[in-house]
Amino acid sequence: MSYETVISLEHADIFQEKNLVLHQVDFKLNKGEFAYIIGKTGSGKSSLLKTLYGELKLELGKGEIAGFDLIKLKRRQIPKLRRRLGIIFQDFQLLTDRNAKDNLLFVLKATGWTNKMEMFKRVGEVLKIVGLETKDYKMPHQLSGGEQQRLVIARALLNKPEIILADEPTGNLDPEISNDIVSLLQLIAKEEGTAVLMATHEMRLLEEFPARVIKVEQNKVYDDPKYTNIA
């Protein structure tokens, strides 16, 4: 079976300003694959994700994501790259002055959509994927924490991304809701063919929702052998 690689890093050195954070990073992620990134606070998980979405410049090695060469990536290309990605943070960053549907329409407009019918159709599709189709009229403060994170996932899906990068998406949620979010992200990987890379510190999720685990430790990034055979 051939796999389509959507993220590839080879011998990549990742710096935070002038400090070497991660050394000789080698890893690939394929279309439709779900993987966790784990590591202690300050180990470099976020630096790795920031390099992938263009916040940190890759200076040494090779790196490709969604068809973009990270070494050659120009600042003006970053918005275009991010349209090919769905990025989910721990804090929801929703627009508090408009309802769920208008939060999503705002993003479509900002990313170049102009056809109203197509915009409404796409908003309906992503709300259905995340199970919020009956709550499109609700303001963010009327949604629970889990529902707000589902809305954030819907927002990340709007432009049919090849990859979702999720930085501690369950960090502010209680365990039951965290389970729902991970289950949803794994379903999206499987059914939408979207690769999902999720940074987490919640080790129980790895046991309850098995998948590939990439560990960040002592400047290195590697597949954790403890979890290799359970995915």
126 backbone φψ class: left, alpha, beta (φ>0; ψ -120 to 50): alpha
Cβ atoms 79, 157 nearer than 8 A: no
Number of residues that make up the chain:
231
Report d(CA 17, CA 56) in Å as an integer: 9
Cβ atoms 37, 214 nearer than 8 A: yes
pLDDT digits (tens, 9 = 90+) for 3-52: 699 999 999 999 988 899 999 999 999 999 999 999 988 888 989 999 99
pTM: 0.91
Average pLDDT, the chain: 91
230 pLDDT higher than 60: no
CA distances from residue 89 to 4, 60, 170, 218 in whole angstroms, order as listed: 26, 26, 9, 24
User: What is the pLDDT at residue 228?
Assistant: 61
